[in-house]
Amino acid sequence: MTTDLHWFKSSYSSNDGPDCVEVAISTAQPAILLRDSKNKNGARLEFTGGAWSEFVEFAAGR
């Protein structure tokens, strides 16, 4: 997995809250990655572009 990813915190995450999610977009292998900002070396979820769109739509409750 690429180590030079640019991670950014979700706009729905607070700086002090316990529920912080970070997202990175990989160009080396077209994918969107998700991780817990409190456990940067922990497990990551990896989505293709289509799967990410479906996930976001599902999470938004549409």
Q: What pLDDT digit, counting tens, does each position of 8-35 carry?
A: 887 766 666 667 889 999 888 889 999 9
* Rounded percentage of the chain residues whose pLDDT exceeds 70: 81
Average pLDDT of span 45-62: 89
State yes or no: pLDDT of 46 exceeds 90.
Answer: yes
pLDDT for the residue 2: 46
Residues in the chain: 62
Contact 34, 23 (CB under 8 A): yes
Residue 49's CB: how many other CB atoms inside 10 A? 11
Average pLDDT over the chain, rounded to an integer? 83
- Residue 56, SS3 per DSSP: helix
Confirm if 20 and 13 have CB atoms less than 8 A apart. Answer: yes
